[in-house]
Structure 1
Amino acid sequence: MKKVFIYAVVMLFSVFVGKAQDIKQAKSAIDAEQYEVAKKTLESITASSPSDGYAKFLLGYVCLLKGNHEAAKKNFDAGIACSSKANFNYIGLGFMALDKENVAEADKDFGLACKSVDKKTIEESVFIGKAYCYSVHPNYNKAIEILTKARLIDPKNTSVLLALADAYKLNKQQNESYELYREAFREDGTLLRAKMGLGALIKNTHNFPAAVTSFNEVIAMNPNYGPVYRELAETEYLWALNDGRNYDSHISKALGFYEKYMSLTDYSLESRMRHADFLILAKDYKALETEANEMTKLDKVNPKIYRYLGYSAYHNNNLDVALNSLNSFVSNPSSKLIGRDYYYLGASKLGKALIATPVDTVAISNGVLDLKKSIEMTPNLAGEISDLGKKLFEKKLYSKAASVYEIAISNAESKSLLLDNFYFASAAYWSCAGVEKLNSHQTELLNKADLSLDKIITASPTTQDAYLFKARIQVLLKNDIMVAKNYEDFVIAANKKDPTELASKGMKSKLIEAYNNLGIIYSATDKVKAKESFDKTLLVDPANQYAIDQLKILK
């Protein structure tokens, strides 16, 4: 009997150690962002130990990280009924409540998670801190408050130090974050996440060579640690944005590092989506289309896949696929829409309309409405929207071009604001030129155009064409006083240009226009000034018949 008892104890101990080892492996896989590996390990544990609430919680937590909220809740609900460490599952439910902006429910769940545990137990605090950090609606200050209290209990606990470092980093408190990552690494020199965190902070200061060096030190410790290659990919991408001459080289390295990251983590749907997001940043739309098609093999109904299909199809000139995919995505009530979704939908409608015979103006109008939505949601898309306006302008669809440029200039922070204002004004002018009687909409449009030109003149008084178009607009508005003033301002600005520019065919044509129009206006009130204006026309073009005829009339 004694031998049987000893054998039973040994077997029980070995099972306990084995399960603990499996949990440790699952946590290592989570840290390495190998979520499929972690999921399978935890599913095995929960199948063999259905009363293990902690394993259920970790499984639900992995499902959250993978974006599968339904599976996460199912595991958390089951975990609450477990006999061992069921309390952790309330943290998972609290996390989900934060995602829904239900703070009261989250507080209740977090309270239940900590209700019956030793006040010196801090793992619950770590996970609650992470919930506040990584929720869709984060509260970094709350996370810092909770984790700081946990640190007082165990100042050298590396889980607390890492979580607190992350919270400070997300809260833009870089110095505090750096010290905590460094302290965690001092406590445990095998903590790759801490070492990588130091490199990530260096990356954020745009010291890209130093960041790459730091990440290479992580690789030297473990070349199979996947997350460091993601950081390297992001570093090379940011470096590309700041080093235009070597942009292609940096982007090529970035894409290579991301592929390495994928190979060391997993090729699950969620990982492929992260990869797709990065391909959008890197503007590799051929690879994005390939990735999107691979995702459809894993999940034919996930709405986000249609976003990737739509974006890539637009850039690869597959406009029918782009329209079908994006319409499916934006019409799905479960889709979390962003401004760029409407940008590509509008751009696809415009692209399709422009190749139709005849041009589909109704589709263009619908596309313009989508573009308006896009900039309302994401104002910094203004610069890209102006590129679409230019396509319409080049097709001489001036009214439609003006409507697109009017959207673009609504963002006062746009880098292309002055040029967009000019194109808006000129498109507005050409859309009304030749109209015998302006309607109220056209009059309003021309007045807006005139104000846009004022903005250009305020910012750049030497832009002579701004005065020229103001004069042309006032001709349409039949305001002779402002016509004369703006043509005069144009002449003054133009004559300050380099003689070579003044002698160009285009400039000569504009000067002739200005002098002849000034001559006509002055002929009603001041014949001397009128003659001077027509004489100036002849200095530019001695054979100008209109000026010659007008001078004969004035004699």
Structure 2
Amino acid sequence: MKNAKFLSLLLSVFSTAAFAQDLEQAKKAIDAEQYDKAKKILKGLVKSNPDNGKNFFYLGDVYLRESEADSATIVFNKGLATKDKATLNFIGLGQIDLDGKRAAAAQANFDKAAAGIKKKDVDELLLIARAYINSENPDYKKAIEIAKKALLIDDKNAQAYLVLGNAYYGDKDSNEAYSAYRNAYDLDSSLLSAKMKVASITKNAKAFTEAVKSFNEIVAINPNYGPVYRELAETYYFWGASEPAKYEEYIKKALGYYEKYMSLTDYSVASRMRHADFLILAKDYKALEIEANEMKKLDKVNPRILRYLGYAAYENGNYAESSKAIAEFFAKVEPKRIIARDYLYLGLTKMAEAKKADGTYDEKIFSEGVVELNKAVDKDPVIANELNAIGQKMFKDKLYKNAARLFEVAIKNPKSKNYLYDNFYLGYALYFDYDDKTSPKDQLTKADAAFSKVIEVSPTTQDAHLFKARVNDQIGTPESKLVALASYEQYVKILDGKGDAEKAKPNNKKGLIEALTFVGAHYANSSDKAKAVENLQKLLTIDPANEYASKTLKALKA
């Protein structure tokens, strides 16, 4: 009997040790972003140790990291029925409540998880703080508060400093985040994620050389730590974006590092989605289409895969496939998961479908596309930056009506880097598209407003004054004629200030002849003959053979 009891106790000790070891392996896999590996370990633990709530909590947490909230909810609820550490699963349910903007319900769940915490135990506190950080609706200040509470209990806890660093990082307090990460790594040099975050702060400060050096130090410590290669990929992408001359070189390095990251994590759907997001950033749409089709083989249900297929197919000119994928995506996805870029591609795809064999557009389908582009810019105004090149292509193809409609969407964001040019081309397109017989009466008024906005932003852009004058001349009311006069005069004044070389350029010379003719004629027909003579004489210096100037000056002096 004694031997039997001893053997039972020994087996229990071995079982507990094996469980602890396996759970640590799962945690390391999560930290290394090897989610399939982590799930495999945790599912085994759930099966072999069904009474331990920790297994369920960490398995549910992996599902949350992969945005599989339904699976996570099922696992957490099963975890609540376990005998040991069941209350950890209230933390997972609390994070799901935060994701759903149910703050009171989240707090209630966190309170249940914290109710049985021992006086010197900080694990639950740190997991609650992490939930506030990882939520789709994070509360970084709350996480900072809880992490600091944990440090009051145990000021040598490396994990507490890591969580505090993540909270400060999310709250955009780089100095405090840097300090917390340094403390975490000093206390536990196995926390490569803390050292990596220090380097990431350097990357965000655009100190790319120093950041790469720091990331390579991590590679030297553990060349199989996957997340560091993702950071290197992002560093080279941003470095290339900031140095256009080296963009091609650096983007090639970035894509290579991301492939390395993939090889060291896993080729699960979740990992492939992270890869796809980076391929969109890097504008490698050929690779994106290949990746999306590989994901489709693994998971035919996830609507996010259809997003990638739609984006890639559009960029690769496969418009019918893009339209099909995007339409299916919108039919399947939860409305809260729709992002601005989805509306952008839906709009662009509709426009591509609207294009007829003769190069013109089916206006009904084109209008549907414009509606989606408006939704995109309303949801994320930065999207407006991307419309300029598309609008300019339409303008160059002399599809002025369609270009104007696109630029009307683009100018909704006054902070767009293309705001000046978008207004300029909007005014151009409206002016060139105008037809006295068929165009709306307010079309020229809109063109005038667009050129006025250009002048407001850049007063010395002479062509804005020239076209504002032309627009108001065409409007043809006594009031608009006076606006045209003032605009032409300003055009002449700006060019006078820029010197003879600028005035001699063919387009500017042509504009000056037009402006001085209008101004001279106006004053010749009014009582201000001195101004008429002044402007007509200027006209003759630019265009000595100008018959109108010669004849009018002769008449004025008679």
Q: TM-score, normalised by structure 2?
A: 0.93
User: Counterparts of 1:449-464 in structure 2 under 5 Å?
Assistant: 449-464=447-462
Q: Which moved more, 1:491-500 or 1:535-544?
A: 535-544
Structure 1 Cα separation of the partners of residues 241 and 450 of structure 2: 31
Query: Within 1, Cα distance between the matches of 2:394 and 2:364?
Result: 14
Which of 32-41 and 107-116 deviates more? 107-116
Query: Are residues 58 and 306 of structure 1, via their aligned partners in 2, closer, same or farther at CA, if it must alter by over 3 Å?
Result: same
Q: Distance in 1 between matches of 2:551 and 2:397?
A: 36
TM-fit CA distance, 1:549 = 7.6
What are the within-5 Å matches in structure 2 for residues 401-440 of structure 1?
A: 401-432=403-434, 434-436=435-437, 439=440
Q: Structure 1 pair 522/52, CA: closer, same or farther in 2 (3 Å)?
A: same
Distance 1:226 1:177, change over 3 A: same
Structure 1 residues 228-237 or 534-543, which shifts more? 534-543
* Matched AA of 2:393: K
Q: Which residue of 2 aligns with 1:210?
A: 210
Q: Partner of 1:7 in structure 2? A: 7
**Contact 2:280/2:288 (8 A) holds in 1:** yes
After superposition, give the CA deviation of every residue in 1:88-125 in whole Å (9 maximum; x if it has no partner). 11111111111111111111111111223323221111
Deviates more, 1:396-405 or 1:12-21: 396-405
Go from structure 1 to structure 2 and tell me whether the alpha carbon gap of 1:249 and 1:295 turns closer, same or farther (over 3 Å shift). Answer: same
**SS of aligned partner of 2:155:** coil
Question: For the structure 1 residues 462 and 310, does the alpha-carbon distance in structure 2 shift closer, same or farther, using more than 3 Å as the test?
Answer: same
Is the 2:269–2:299 contact (alpha carbons within 8 Å) kept by the matching residues of 1?
A: yes
Counterpart for residue 446 of structure 1: 444
1:166-210: CA deviation from partner (whole Å, max 9, x where unpaired): 111111222222222222222222221222122122222221111
* Contact in 2 for aligned 1:453/1:466 (Cα 8 Å): yes
Whole-Å separation in 1 of the counterparts to 2:424 and 2:280: 30
Partner residue, 2:363:
361
Matched, 1:470 2:468: yes
Q: Does the 8 Å CA contact 2:520/2:536 hold for their aligned counterparts? A: yes
Q: 1:11 is matched by which residue type in structure 2?
A: L
Question: What residue identity is the alignment partner of 2:64?
Answer: L
Deviates more, 1:73-82 or 1:545-554: 545-554
**Cα gap change, 1:429 to 1:10, in 2 (>3 Å):** same
Q: Call closer, same or farther: CA 1:15–1:424 in 2, change over 3 Å.
A: same
Q: CA deviation at 1:284?
A: 1.1
- Cα deviation for residue 288 of structure 1 reads 1.0
Counterpart residue type for residue 35 of structure 2: Y
Counterpart check, 1:514 vs 2:515: yes
The answer (yes or no) to whether the contact 2:343–2:373 under 8 Å persists in 1 is: yes
Structure 2: distance between partners of 1:200 and 1:164: 16
Equivalent position of 1:394 in the other structure: 396
Q: CA deviation at 1:525?
A: 2.3
Unaligned runs of 5+ in 2: none
> Can you list the C-alpha shifts for 1:449-485, whole angstroms capped at 9, x where unaligned?
3233233334433322111111111112212222222
Distance in 1 separating the partners of 2:32 and 2:385: 38
Aligned residues with identical type, % of pairs: 46
Aligned residue in 1 for 2:152: 152
User: CA-to-partner distance for each residue in 1:198-247, whole Å, 9 max, x for gaps?
Assistant: 21222222211111111111111111011111111111122122222211
Residue number in structure 1 paired with 2:117: 117
1:63-103 deviation line (CA, Å, top 9, x unaligned): 11122111111111111111121111111111111111111
Give the aligned residue type for 2:469.
Answer: A
- Work out the CA distance in 1 between the residues paired with 2:317 and 2:555: 59
Q: Secondary structure in 2 aligned to 1:496?
A: helix
Contact 2:303 2:333 in 1 (8 A): no
- Post-superposition shift, 1:530? 5.2
- Report if aligned partners of 2:117, 2:124 keep a CA contact under 8 Å in 1: no
Q: Which string of whole-angstrom CA distances, capped at 9 and with x for unpartnered residues, describes residues 482-504 of structure 1?
A: 22222222222233344344333
Question: For residue 467 of structure 2, what is the amino acid of its counterpart?
Answer: F
Distance 2:433 2:298 in 1: 50
CA distance in 1, matches of 2:204, 2:311: 28
Once the two structures are superposed, what CA deviation does each residue of 1:140-163 show, in whole Å capped at 9, x if it has no partner? 111111111111111112221211
Matches within 5 A, 1:54-93: 54-93=54-93
Please, which moves more after superposition, 457-466 or 121-130?
A: 457-466
Q: Does 1:220 align with 2:220?
A: yes
Name the CA shift for 1:549/1:329 in 2 (closer, same or farther; >3 Å): farther
Contact 2:94–2:110 (CA<8 Å) still a contact in 1? yes
Deviation, 1:138, is 0.5
Secondary structure of the residue aligned to 2:497 is coil
- Cα 1:527–1:67 shift into 2, 3 Å: closer
**Change in CA separation of 1:54 and 1:489 when aligned onto 2, cut-off 3 Å:** same
Provide the rounded CA distance (Å) in 2 between the counterparts of 1:130 and 1:386: 41
- Match of residue 260 from structure 1: 260
Deviation at 1:541, TM superposition (A): 4.2
Provide the C-alpha distance between the structure 2 equivalents of 1:96 and 1:322, rounded to a whole number of angstroms: 33
Taking a change above 3 Å as real, the CA distance of residues 403 and 553 of structure 1, as seen in their structure-2 partners, is farther
Match of 2:188 in 1: 188
Cα distance 1:110–1:13, how it changes in 2: closer, same or farther (>3 A)? same
Q: 1: distance between equivalents of 2:333 and 2:65?
A: 22
Closer, same or farther: CA 489–80 of 1 in aligned 2, 3 Å: same
Change (3 A) 1:18 1:437: closer
Write the distance in 1 (CA, Å) between the matches of 2:415 and 2:155. Answer: 46
How large is the Cα RMSD of the aligned pairs?
A: 2.3
Asked if the contact 1:347/1:388 (under 8 Å) is kept, the reply is no
Structure-2 separation of matches of 1:527 and 1:190: 86
- In structure 1, distance between residues paired with 2:439 and 2:65: 59
Asked if the contact 2:306/2:325 (under 8 Å) is kept, the reply is yes
Query: Which has the larger displacement, 305-314 or 501-510?
Result: 501-510
CA–CA separation in structure 1 for the residues paired with 2:11 and 2:542: 105
Alpha-carbon displacement from aligned partner over 1:276-318 (angstroms, at most 9, x marks no partner): 1111111111111111111111112211112111211222111
Contact 1:508–1:540 under 8 Å retained in 2: yes
Length, aligned pairs only: 551
| Pair 250,482 (structure 1): closer, same or farther in 2 beyond 3 Å | same
1:37 counterpart SS class: helix
